[in-house]
Chains A and B, each alone.
Chain A
Amino acid sequence: DIQMTQSPSSLSASVGDTVTIACRASQSINNYLNWYRQKPGKAPELLIYGASSLQSGVPSKFSGSGSGTDFTLTISSLQTEDFATYYCQQSSSTPLTFGGGTKVEIK
């Protein structure tokens, strides 16, 4: 199974800040990497697919990069609705696996 490791597990930031979340795969997954945001009590929402493609309707302040085993999600100009938990997920092979999540909290 491919293990997905996110770092940090949590971070504190202020409105307007830019933050970066890292995700590392235990083996190469090419660009089969997706990012989701989950607000408290809500279902996850797709932000980025294929490592760097922005899902329709998602603001351009979200960006993804990386290939192989190392990936990043960058969120610029944090707004209150962005204080949530973010997950990476690989689709290179089954079982599909998620990272443990990164909780972005208000400083």
Chain B
Amino acid sequence: EVQLVESGGGLVQPGRSLRLSCATSGFTFGGYAVTWVRQAPGKGLEWVGFIRSKTWGGTTEYAASVEGRFSISRDDSKSIAYLQMNSLKTDDTAVYYCSRYNTTWFDYWGQGTLVTVSS
């Protein structure tokens, strides 16, 4: 069974950093891209970024709203992806989901982890 489990969310002050983890199981992690999507309270879904598999260079792409502040990495030996969030703003408050990016769609999602940026 494919599973993705996010962790690392919580309350953080503006300007500080936080790292989210996405632990996966049930599939060959190294063969897939992983993406992060967020959802602000009461709002719609917003793509944050993704990391390609090593086969495709392991490269990353990001939404303009987080470019330069957030970075995604992966540890294929542990089947875990990470979202490093720096210089956090109140607008970054959201539930953050990781998802497996299969070809061109998000086919499996984690349950999400809430990040609250507030002083």
Contact = CB atoms under 8 A, between A and B. Distances in A.
Interface in B43-63: 44-47, 50, 61, 63
Contact of B105 (A46, A87, A94): A46
Interface in A68-93: 87, 89, 91
A44 B45 contact: yes
A87 B45 contact: yes
A44 B109 contact: yes
A45 B111 CA distance: 11
Majority secondary structure, A binding face: loop
Interface string B95-117: 00100000111111111100000
A91 B104 contact: yes
Q: Which bucket holds chain B's interface residue count?
A: 20 to 34
Given A43-B97, A44-B109, A95-B63, A49 B104 contact: yes
Contacts of A34: 104-106
A98 B105 contact: no
Contact of A44 (B61, B63, B103, B106): B106
Interface string B55-84: 000000101100000000000000000000
Given A43-B97, A44-B109, A94 B104 contact: no
Interface of A: 32, 34, 36, 38, 42-46, 49-50, 55, 87, 89, 91, 94-101
